[in-house]
Amino acid sequence: MAETVDAWVALGANLGERRTALEAAFTALGKLSHTRLVRHSSLWASPPLDADGPDYLNAVALLQTSLDPFELLDALQSIELTLGRTRSYRNAPRTLDLDLLLHGRAVLDTPTLTLPHPRMTDRAFVLRPLAELAPDLEIPGHGTVQQCLSRVAEQPCEAIPETST
């Protein structure tokens, strides 16, 4: 694999078999070309934020990839479609959501991709699983994950116990 960067991806699901969808997404992330799934957080539950529907299960994954941010975004959207994601309206309940949070230290603002993810520092359901893996990770322009989490600590988000399989 060519030179790689760390890329962080948020995963969420609030329709259907949520745990199964996230596990399938972890598997698919691990099979992406030019990419390696390094690790992922445990699962976290949270109510929808600025949306309707059932509670979400959320997680964060760390990838090492040589894909550029746009190639990785395309790959993430392909995984969503393969696993049944539909986009009926903004913030609609979903079977799977994959958001590219960070791609190395890239700072982008384009019509198709903004990095860091523009709302990641406002969401405990992103920051809690991210803090589980990398509390001192620097989010360009925002401070560390832990610093950002302290600003949204009141938002409900709780760890889900692992189940034996």
Helix locations, 43-123, DSSP H: 69-82
Let me know if 74 is a catalytic residue: no
Let me know if 128 is a catalytic residue: no
Cα 161 from Cα 59, distance rounded (Å): 13
- Indicate which residue of 18, 94, 123, 128 is catalytic: 94
Residues in the chain: 165
CA distances from 145 to 7, 16, 128, 152, 155 (A): 15, 30, 9, 11, 15
CB contact at 8 A, 121 and 148? yes
Let me know if 85 is a catalytic residue: yes
- Indicate which residue of 68, 74, 99, 122 is catalytic: 99
- Indicate which residue of 18, 85, 123, 128 is catalytic: 85
Helix, strand, coil content of the chain in percent (nearest 5): 30, 25, 45
DSSP state, 8?
A: E
- Indicate which residue of 18, 97, 123, 128 is catalytic: 97
Let me know if 97 is a catalytic residue: yes
**Residues recognised as catalytic:** 85, 94, 97, 99
